[in-house]
Amino acid sequence: MREVFQAELKQVGEELVEIATLVHKALSEARQAFLEADLETAQEVIAGDARIDFMQNELDERSIDILALQAPVASDLRMIVGALRMSSSLERMGDLARHLAQDARRRYPDPVLPEQLVATFSRMFDLDLEIIDGVVQILETRDMGVADTIYAKKAEVNGLHQDIFNALSSDSWDSPVSTAVDVTLSARYLERIGDHGVSVARKVAYLVTGEWTPSATMDRPTGHGHITIAD
């Protein structure tokens, strides 16, 4: 019976990695759709989000069955509860990638961004993709050194997010209100993807150490100063 239980736990871990890998693919394609006004790729991202949602539901149902049938304790219980929370973060990252693809589809054939912000958004996409790479790695290895890298990349995302707000409020901003709305929301989606990556990393740290303590304190730009996140 114990061998069956351990096999079930291993499968849950493998499914988390598979979902994270799909999220990386979705964001990579959303980057192309968003920055290059690629309608076909945008449609693929939007349609593909259903698979991420399905896999999250399957993982959550499997985890709940394990809780009900195996009554795990101690570290095994942390693993199951953590998997439920991490799957939610990963699913939300997929949703945010879909939102970015929907922005591209809505504005097609025009670009979403004014030219002066393309480089900033490109860097934010790249950082979020690196964060998701780190999430895949930390789920596979539980290497806490990877978590520190994720936190550092998220701090850079925060700085770029603030740069975007500075651009929106500068005297040189001359794009229409609709563009300002698109820029604000899209920047928020990218910032939140990084937040969810940090959340997964911290939950893995909890699985490894059994302690829920902040690994890093990061300021999230809001456009009206900063607030500290502890979650």
Contact between residue 204 and residue 138 where contact means Cβ atoms under 8 Å apart: yes
pLDDT digits (tens, 9 = 90+) for 69-96: 777 777 778 888 889 999 999 999 999 9
Q: Choose among 116, 126, 227: nearest CA to 168.
A: 116
**Residue 71 backbone phi and psi in degrees, to 5:** 45, 60
Task: Give the distance from CA 156 to its chain's centroid.
Answer: 15
Q: Is the pTM of this model over 0.85?
A: yes
Residue range 210-228, pLDDT digits in tens: 776 564 444 444 443 333 3
Tokens 């999220």 appear where? 23
Domains, the chain, with CATH or none: 2-229 (1.20.58.220)
Q: Which two tokens stand for residue 126?
A: 């790249």
Mean pLDDT of 105-129: 97
Q: What percent of the chain has pLDDT over 90?
A: 74
pLDDT tens profile 163-211: 999 999 999 999 999 999 999 999 999 999 999 999 999 999 888 877 7
